[in-house]
């Protein structure tokens, strides 16, 4: 056995050791009924917090979907921070019933800083105890009409941080949008849902989550500013002993990029943000391995670190193996190519299985033509493999927060119809 075959075998073993528990998640999420919460009196008062940058095309539809909730309207207020906007985001949000604050700051750029200012303004206006909890959304989101009621039941069960089911407005646009969407649906059904069933911590995924006032008051507002502020918020609370709950019945929709250039920029920010998490929180997560929240800390550590480093290392070493085999002859070129191909096929096969199991389990929740759903099972692994060059790029380049343009201006009712 050549050295590159041994190396790839070791990489495969390490992936198995680190992530075999997620195969168990896949089984649990497939065969065990989602955790649900009993109906309760609707009396909690909520603030909807939205950070928006040049989102005039979509912010109105989000506000409308909030106003159309089956939860008492006098208990829900909408707040928007128009962050460094050069369009009519603020005016559109006000016209659709939101309280709007405007922010211009070219030095502290990013969603985390926008949320910090928004929380400061809201608490200055009504005090720290006026709202029982806060929902965080992106401007391109849309809410199912039962969303807040479902999350309210989960909050009344004693959960202080809750994430929800992230679906997509535009699954059927192309292989990029379906790749994103299938990943988030998989995260809902076979990661966070399984975690909820097993009573371990779920993970916040960018948008669509709830925070109890106790958490906000304890941390003094919003205090997470890394490039992936959602994962930072999750990890920071998990190492402090909190658990993120998951509400399967609370569904919202967001818009996925359709241009590869946008996708590259967004996912490079995510990859860089993961590196920031490793730098800032790896020690705390390791200490958490020996706490009562030990498995949740392990799960979050696996979410942020090993896959990234194992993948980048494997890519680099296999490229070196091909070069040395071609020019130095220390390994036969056929052996090096076959070893790399075996690793690729194994990874492709695993992602294909994950995609098709997710698609079959959540078939009715995917709003796209049947042929597009089936095609996405095959393109999903390719979408995931594009993380390889993106991850390498993130290692060696400076990354700044930049907005993603959103253009899918539809209502929730439009989304649930099959978009052709």
173-231 confidence digits (pLDDT tens): 999 999 999 999 999 999 999 999 999 999 999 999 999 999 999 999 999 999 999 99
Q: Which residue has the higher pLDDT, 63 or 409?
A: 63
Residue 16 has pLDDT above 80, yes or no: yes
**CB burial of residue 407 (10 Å; 0-12, 13-18, 19+):** exposed
- Please tell me whether residues 229 and 245 are part of one structural domain: yes
In whole angstroms, what is the distance from residue 274 CA to residue 305 CA? 7
Contact 55, 89 (CB under 8 A): yes
Q: What is the dihedral angle through the alpha carbons of 95, 96, 102, 106, rounded to the nearest 10 degrees?
A: -110
Q: Is residue 152 part of a domain?
A: yes
pLDDT at position 292, please?
87
Name which of 98, 57, 96 is nearest 77 in CA terms.
98
- Specify the DSSP class assigned to residue 207: S
Domain span including residue 332: 3-29+301-395
Q: Which of these three, 259, 287, 315, is where a domain ends?
A: 287
Band of the pLDDT at 410, cuts 50, 70, 90? confident
Q: Which residue has the higher pLDDT, 2 or 77?
A: 77
Q: Is residue 404 part of a domain?
A: no
Mean pLDDT of 72-81: 98
For 164, phi then psi, to 5°, come to -135, -175
β-pair type (142-143, 161-168): unpaired
**Measuring CA to CA, how many Å separate 274 from each of 18, 49, 128, 309?**
17, 24, 31, 11
pTM score of the predicted model: 0.94
- Please tell me whether residues 17 and 110 are part of one structural domain: no
Q: Which of these three, 265, 287, 309, is where a domain ends?
A: 287
- Please tell me whether residues 228 and 144 are part of one structural domain: yes
- Please tell me whether residues 305 and 354 are part of one structural domain: yes
Q: Is residue 255 part of a domain?
A: yes
Residue located via tokens 């390719």: 382
- Please tell me whether residues 182 and 48 are part of one structural domain: yes
Name 354's Cβ contacts closer than 8 Å, sequence gap at least 6.
26, 186, 190, 380
- Please tell me whether residues 70 and 50 are part of one structural domain: yes
pLDDT at position 327, please?
76
pLDDT at position 5, please?
86
Supply 47's token pair.
Answer: 């603030």
In whole angstroms, what is the distance from residue 243 CA to residue 6 CA? 39
Mean pLDDT of 38-57: 96
Supply 177's token pair.
Answer: 């949008």
**CB burial of residue 419 (10 Å; 0-12, 13-18, 19+):** middle
Question: What percent of the chain is predicted at pLDDT more than 70?
Answer: 99
In whole angstroms, what is the distance from residue 253 CA to residue 416 CA? 10
Name 374's Cβ contacts closer than 8 Å, sequence gap at least 6.
359
**CB burial of residue 168 (10 Å; 0-12, 13-18, 19+):** buried
- Please tell me whether residues 317 and 192 are part of one structural domain: no
- Please tell me whether residues 65 and 171 are part of one structural domain: yes
pLDDT at position 321, please?
84
Query: For 376, how many CA atoms within 13 A lie in the half-sphere containing its CB?
Result: 32
Supply 65's token pair.
Answer: 């979907």
Residue 418 has pLDDT above 70, yes or no: no
pLDDT at position 338, please?
86
Average pLDDT, the chain: 94
Residue 239, H or E segment: helix 229-239
In whole angstroms, what is the distance from residue 357 CA to residue 373 CA? 12
pLDDT tens digits for range 332-370: 778 778 888 888 898 899 999 999 999 999 999 999 999
Contact 220, 123 (CB under 8 A): no
Name which of 306, 287, 326, 291 is nearest 4 in CA terms.
326
Supply 24's token pair.
Answer: 């168990």
Give CA 301 to chain center in angstroms. 16
Q: At what angle do helices 3-31 and 306-327 cross, to 10 degrees?
A: 150
- Specify the DSSP class assigned to residue 356: H
Q: Is residue 217 part of a domain?
A: yes
**Measuring CA to CA, how many Å separate 301 from each of 18, 231, 312, 394?**
10, 11, 17, 19
- Please tell me whether residues 46 and 157 are part of one structural domain: yes
pLDDT at position 50, please?
98
In whole angstroms, what is the distance from residue 74 CA to residue 175 CA? 41
- Please tell me whether residues 137 and 255 are part of one structural domain: yes
pLDDT at position 331, please?
64
Q: At what angle do helices 306-327 and 294-304 cross, to 10 degrees?
A: 40
- Please tell me whether residues 16 and 46 are part of one structural domain: no
Q: Is residue 292 part of a domain?
A: no
Residue 329 has pLDDT above 70, yes or no: no
Question: What percent of the chain is predicted at pLDDT more than 90?
Answer: 79
In whole angstroms, what is the distance from residue 204 CA to residue 229 CA? 10
- Specify the DSSP class assigned to residue 362: T
Q: Which of these three, 255, 287, 319, is where a domain ends?
A: 287
What domain count does the chain have? 2
Q: Is residue 417 part of a domain?
A: no
Name which of 376, 357, 33 is nearest 175 in CA terms.
376
Residue 143, H or E segment: strand 142-143
The CATH code of the domain that includes 229 is: 3.90.550.10
Q: Is residue 418 part of a domain?
A: no
pLDDT tens digits for range 357-409: 999 999 999 999 999 999 999 999 999 999 999 999 998 888 988 888 898 88
Residue 420 has pLDDT above 60, yes or no: no
- Please tell me whether residues 97 and 20 are part of one structural domain: no
Q: Is residue 203 part of a domain?
A: yes
């Amino acid at each position: 056995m050549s050295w590159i075959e041994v190396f790839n075998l070791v990489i495969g073993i390490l992936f198995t050791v680190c992530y075999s528990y997620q195969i168990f998640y896949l089984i649990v999420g497939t065969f065990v009924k989602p955790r649900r919460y009993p109906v309760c009196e609707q009396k909690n008062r909520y603030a909807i917090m939205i950070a928006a940058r040049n989102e005039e095309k979509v912010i109105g539809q989000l506000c409308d979907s909030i106003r159309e909730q089956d939860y008492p309207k006098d208990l829900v207020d909408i707040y928007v921070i128009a962050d460094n906007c050069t369009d009519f985001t603020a005016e559109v949000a006000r016209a659709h019933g939101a309280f709007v604050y405007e922010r211009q700051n070219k030095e502290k750029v990013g969603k985390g800083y926008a949320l910090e200012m928004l929380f400061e303004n809201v608490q200055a206006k009504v005090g720290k105890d006026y709202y029982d909890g806060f929902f965080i959304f992106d401007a391109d989101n849309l809410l199912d009409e039962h969303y807040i009621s479902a999350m309210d039941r989960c909050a009344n069960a004693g959960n202080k941080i809750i994430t929800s089911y992230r679906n997509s407005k535009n699954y059927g646009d192309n292989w990029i949008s379906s790749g994103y969407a299938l990943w988030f649906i998989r995260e809902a059904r076979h990661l966070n849902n399984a975690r909820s069933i097993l009573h371990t911590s779920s993970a916040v995924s960018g948008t669509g989550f709830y925070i109890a006032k106790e958490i906000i008051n304890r941390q003094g507002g919003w205090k997470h500013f890394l490039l992936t502020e959602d994962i930072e918020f999750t990890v920071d609370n998990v190492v402090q002993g909190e658990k993120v709950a998951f509400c399967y019945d609370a569904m919202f929709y967001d818009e996925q990029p359709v241009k590869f250039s946008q996708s590259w920029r967004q996912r490079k920010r995510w990859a860089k943000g993961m590196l920031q998490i490793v730098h800032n929180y790896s020690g705390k997560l390791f200490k958490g391995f020996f706490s009562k929240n030990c498995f949740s800390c392990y799960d979050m550590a696996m979410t942020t670190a090993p896959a990234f480093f194992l993948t980048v290392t494997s890519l680099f070493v296999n490229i070196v193996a091909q070069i040395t085999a071609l020019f130095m002859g220390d390994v036969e070129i056929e052996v090096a190519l076959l070893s790399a191909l075996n690793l690729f096929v194994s990874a492709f096969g695993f992602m294909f299985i994950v995609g098709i199991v997710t698609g079959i389990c959540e078939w009715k929740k995917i709003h796209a033509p049947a042929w597009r759903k089936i095609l996405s099972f095959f393109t999903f692994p390719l979408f995931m493999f594009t993380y390889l060059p993106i991850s390498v790029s993130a290692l060696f380049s400076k990354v700044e927060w930049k907005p993603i343009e959103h253009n899918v201006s539809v209502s929730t009712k439009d989304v649930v119809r099959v978009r052709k």
